[in-house]
Structure 1
């Protein structure tokens, strides 16, 4: 491995460190939902309001974040987002009143989703050529899963060590905050070799954004992410499905949840990157056929007999489906490199992509939940899973159009190269 390659992968590891820690505070409910209720005095509705406020602000500011990523050096934006998140966490650990918590969760979205995330995506894209995009984004997703798992379990250990009470929750929040601050400091000092924004910025931010808006390929990539993400949201309901329909024991609920939320993220992202780059030779081509592969997997879930004797078959079928989805999540940003987005509008392109692609987070859970409330029991789950199949078909159509555009772009580029050589 050359010195240049070593430097590239070192920077990549530093980026993964921040990517696996910055969302822990905004998603405090993942590991500490009940402690938030008991020790912060929050109701289900209040926690829901905090999460909704965070999601709305995040979605509204993704495009702004893309503009910032094109205007300023990502080496400055990335640590700024981490340091800001850490500082907000230290204040969160004081257990402020609910109105202040709303402000904190809104500002967490500003730091993580506006300042940090589009800059991270741009930085990752800049680490490799178009042939490496699937691998890089797949490893980013898998690496974030590893860091996410280690940090989450470490915080849980801190909580338990401090007595699993109010002091423990405050200590866990401080732990998350210190990790973010440390990652921000490391990023600032260890990414000094990154290419400055001035080298790629040719126009003012508004012009970059308007140019990006007019590129059809960016919208196709964005809607492709949208289709993957809306199917991904449905994975949440596999756990209650197995518990209610198959009588999954409480002990297995925890084990299944760890595998479904952590192990598959760690394994699926790199697997998707490898398949996209090495086997399919194109992330967009892989995504197209992966959407199609979801259909027989979901048919298998629907056909497994609904009785406790088939619980392991149900678990295997749902985990297999989820694995494919996580492999798709690992590479759904990689087509940004395939479609030839100009370097100076990369941040704006990712901002638009995040705005459209992550939008299902605002309504998909409500939609799926409404179906389950309207049709209790196996019938409701069948309707949800059939809806996911229909969405996968739509995703196949979108990904097919995206892959066709990628092929046309490659053919045009090849023709220009031949003409220049001649």
Structure 2
């Protein structure tokens, strides 16, 4: 639901009566609430039962979607996207990431998160294309858009109810809870995590990946306005750009990080370099004289690189050997810092496009994305060195 723009960017503009900047503002409001929520989730992500938080988050999201289908005004849309930050992210995301991380040891983190992204991509693609089919079935107009929103809402509510009954607490969670209650002097959560330099470097690596990722949304109006992408392909491109690439990027990024480089942090370092070079290329390409399918290919290839990064950008938490009882708090802090670009990048990119007509606006956006990628090279390089130094220190101590 918060990613409605990915498949329905143009209908959102038309039927919600929104500009690029106003869509960006909705995403930024969502991200402000999400970021504050991630900070709060540091305290409960290792304590509350997953079954209740995840189930409640989905059902509440579905109910918000039903309200959204009434086509509220601009302020109503900002209100809904703000609440999405609570229901979709604060209550759900850190707990979900912790669940994935605990499925394997520190040599398997890239693969675990890679295939997790693949699974998400498969589900996202099926649901999004189904919603697009509903939109088309009801006439590809105002009523079709409302029907698609109701479809999304119904799916969220049904899955939330199912999770309430089928998701059980694992034996590992019970052990961790028992240890937490017995070891009062060493509580899981904020204290030890805030003192860990590696966690902060991981968080800022995520930050710069996400700052670049935010720009992928604007490839949709870029192709529409500069390449005159047919309206029939806009929704399909948005789904491929945001969902299908997860299926490709997830396993590729995870397997390269684990099997080839044997380090997710090293993989982030190299792909930041690739991203920066690719963005410079996007700025210099003669887009106004290129065929539309070549433009689509260029943007999708770049998006694939970013999704390989997204697949593994939390994997260094496992690589760094963060203790299990602090994993949830580390994921929450990483999310708090890492997803912060969404608070301002969507609005910033949208503002630039609204005030710089034509190709020049997109070139400025690509330039800013390149700056973020270059900053990511520096941070991921420091992270790689920090993890290597920590491992060498642990090896010396064991000897």
Normalised by the shorter chain, which TM-score bucket?
A: 0.7 to 0.9
Which deviates more, 100-109 or 349-358? 100-109
Residue 229 of structure 1 is matched in structure 2 by 210
| Residues 264-293 of structure 1, C-alpha deviations (whole Å, 9 max, x = no match) | 222112211111111111110111111112
Unaligned runs of 5+ in 2: none
| CA apart distance, 1:104 | 4.2
Paired residues for 1:371-390 under 5 Å: 371-373=352-354, 375-390=356-371
Q: 1:219 aligns with which of 200, 217, 240?
A: 200
Residue 110 of structure 1 is matched in structure 2 by 86
Helix, strand or coil at the partner of 1:63: helix
1:121 equivalenced with 2:102 (yes/no): no
| Residues 115-167 of structure 1, C-alpha deviations (whole Å, 9 max, x = no match) | 11111111111111111111111112222122111112222333444455666
Residue 339 of structure 2 is matched in structure 1 by 358
Q: How far apart are the structure 2 equivalents of 1:259 and 1:38?
A: 22
TM-score (norm 1): 0.81
Q: How far apart are the structure 2 equivalents of 1:185 and 1:382?
A: 45
| Residues 165-216 of structure 1, C-alpha deviations (whole Å, 9 max, x = no match) | 6665554333323322332233334332524645224267986212211111
User: Is the 8 Å Cα contact of residues 74 and 197 (structure 1) preserved in structure 2?
Assistant: no
Paired residues for 1:239-388 under 5 Å: 239-250=220-231, 253=234, 256-309=237-290, 311-373=292-354, 375-388=356-369
Residue 194 of structure 1 is matched in structure 2 by 170
Residue 146 of structure 1 is matched in structure 2 by 122
User: Is the 8 Å Cα contact of residues 207 and 339 (structure 2) preserved in structure 1?
Assistant: yes
Query: Does the C-alpha gap of structure 1 residues 236 and 81 become closer, same or farther in structure 2, counting only changes over 3 Å?
Result: closer
Query: Does the C-alpha gap of structure 1 residues 416 and 80 become closer, same or farther in structure 2, counting only changes over 3 Å?
Result: farther
Q: 1:395 aligns with which of 376, 379, 382?
A: 376
TM-score (norm 2): 0.85
User: Is the 8 Å Cα contact of residues 73 and 198 (structure 1) preserved in structure 2?
Assistant: no
| CA apart distance, 1:384 | 2.9
Aligned length: 393
Q: 2:55 aligns with which of 70, 74, 79?
A: 79
User: Is the 8 Å Cα contact of residues 69 and 77 (structure 1) preserved in structure 2?
Assistant: no
Q: How far apart are the structure 2 equivalents of 1:164 and 1:362?
A: 31
RMSD across aligned positions (CA): 3.1
Q: How far apart are the structure 2 equivalents of 1:68 and 1:302?
A: 44
| Residues 208-259 of structure 1, C-alpha deviations (whole Å, 9 max, x = no match) | 2122111111110000000111111222333444454455555555554443
Q: How far apart are the structure 2 equivalents of 1:87 and 1:306?
A: 42
User: Is the 8 Å Cα contact of residues 24 and 346 (structure 2) preserved in structure 1?
Assistant: no
Query: Does the C-alpha gap of structure 1 residues 315 and 339 become closer, same or farther in structure 2, counting only changes over 3 Å?
Result: same
Q: How far apart are the structure 2 equivalents of 1:321 and 1:165?
A: 31
User: Is the 8 Å Cα contact of residues 339 and 405 (structure 1) preserved in structure 2?
Assistant: no
Which structure has the higher relative contact order (CA within 8 Å, separation 6+)? 2
| CA apart distance, 1:107 | 3.1
User: Is the 8 Å Cα contact of residues 73 and 196 (structure 1) preserved in structure 2?
Assistant: no
Query: Does the C-alpha gap of structure 1 residues 159 and 398 become closer, same or farther in structure 2, counting only changes over 3 Å?
Result: same
Residue 6 of structure 1 is matched in structure 2 by none
Which deviates more, 273-282 or 304-313? 304-313
Query: Does the C-alpha gap of structure 1 residues 36 and 305 become closer, same or farther in structure 2, counting only changes over 3 Å?
Result: closer
Query: Does the C-alpha gap of structure 1 residues 399 and 87 become closer, same or farther in structure 2, counting only changes over 3 Å?
Result: same
User: Is the 8 Å Cα contact of residues 304 and 310 (structure 1) preserved in structure 2?
Assistant: no
Unaligned runs of 5+ in 1: 1-23
Paired residues for 1:45-64 under 5 Å: 50-64=26-40
Residue 154 of structure 2 is matched in structure 1 by 178
Paired residues for 1:84-95 under 5 Å: 84-93=60-69
Helix, strand or coil at the partner of 1:70: coil
